[in-house]
Amino acid sequence: MKVEEIKKICVIGAGNMGHQISLCAALAGYKVSCTDISEEMLRKAEDFARTYLPERVAKGKMKQEQAAMALENLSFSSNLEEAAGDADFVIEAAVEKIDIKRKLFADLDRITPSHAILATNSSFIVSSKVADVTKRPEKICNMHFFNPALVMKLVEVVQGSHTSQETAQVTMDLAAKLGKTGVWLKKEIYGFLVNRILAALNHEAMFLADMGIAGPEEIDLAVTNALGHPMGPFRLMDFTGIDLAYYIGMERYQDTHDPGDKPSPILVEKYAKGEYGVKTKKGFYTYD
Ligand code: 3HC
């Protein structure tokens, strides 16, 4: 398959990542169906698009016709078969739970046309962990966006040993069509490039906080002011979701049994309180 043959993209999951990936693809001229098991998430994603696009037009960042085209390209459905049945490319951005992803990939393999590439936007899970439930492992890869997906330029494309050269190339080409800079990882590695680097930073930041050396605010101030990052690690976890950081830590710990991979006490405390960050209006910081 060539990238030019991709007409319709299905995005699985209307959460933090999925709603913005859908909009990116719709803005790039693709027909996009965004699907989620939650009607509420779908409604929020649609509301976001209907607010964001006119705001961009009002700000002079986008032409009215482009905004109208994007809205026209977008559809939302809680019916997976309807959303994915005629997709040429699928980007799975569902919750970071391996059992859910494996079930989804088995369903997608049954539902989608045989030429369709099935990519996962998972933050850490390599696609070989889902490719084996399909009859098309050569068409399975990672296509990893960053939050907020409408703004962040990078996309990591990870080619597993099961992924064909053609699939990785088409995925890189699609990233470019979406206005992103792709990096092609030729082998699978847990966490890819960016999240490995970020995890090392977060691990150290949480260790310092757990030790009582400094609080989240001081650590964030240090990182933004000394290293020039736009957000410190705690603010960034609030933004990407403390629940996500927790699931990723637990998933990793269950794999490695290494106590060093266990979510740190400060993270567990926030997770247990249901303080997931911006989405619950409270995390390491409080949001109005
Ligand atoms: N959605 C869409 N657009 C957004 C946005 C959002 N949530 N937040 C900000 N923007 C846009 C604004 O509209 C604005 O666009 P414009 O300049 O074209 O008008 C632009 O971003 C700048 O916004 P602001 O001036 O309001 O705010 P900042 O300058 O502070 O930028 C930020 C906000 C882009 C989020 C910046 O703080 C940043 O880059 N933070 C770090 C983000 C980051 O590290 N992301 C990677 C996280 S790791 C990850 O995603 C891994 C994954 O596996 C979970």
Q: How many residues does the chain have?
A: 288
| Ligand 1 pocket member 159 (CB < 6 A) | no
- pLDDT by residue (tens digit) across 200-250? 999 999 999 999 999 999 999 999 999 999 999 999 999 999 999 999 899
pLDDT score at 258:
92
Q: 136 CB contacts (<8 Å, ≥6 apart)?
A: 109, 114, 118
pLDDT score at 180:
98
Q: Tell me how far apart the alpha carbons of residues 265 and 260 are, in angstroms, rounded to a whole number.
A: 12
- Active-site residue among 96, 156, 251, 275? 156
Q: Which token pair is 159? A: 């080619």
pTM for the model: 0.94
Closest ligand 1 atom to Cα of 124 = 53
Q: 15-37 burial, b for 16+ CB within 10 Å, e for fewer?
A: bbbbbbbbbbbbbbebbbbbbbe
pLDDT score at 252:
87
Task: For residue 73, indicate whether it is catalytic.
Answer: no
Task: For residue 195, indicate whether it is catalytic.
Answer: yes
Distances in whole angstroms, Cα of residue 60 to Cα of each of 142, 258, 266? 34, 51, 42
Query: 193 with 199: CB under 8 angstroms?
Result: no
225: CA distance to ligand 1 center in Å? 18
Closest ligand 1 atom to Cα of 229 = 41
Task: For residue 156, indicate whether it is catalytic.
Answer: yes
Question: What are the pLDDT tens digits along the chain (288 aa)?
Answer: 999 999 999 999 999 999 999 999 999 999 999 999 999 999 999 999 999 999 999 999 999 999 999 999 999 999 999 999 999 999 999 998 999 999 999 999 999 999 999 999 999 999 999 999 999 999 999 999 999 999 999 999 999 999 999 999 999 999 999 999 999 999 999 999 999 999 999 999 999 999 999 999 999 999 999 999 999 999 999 999 999 999 989 988 988 999 988 999 999 999 999 999 999 999 999 998
Rg, C-alpha atoms of the chain = 19
Closest ligand 1 atom to Cα of 144 = 53
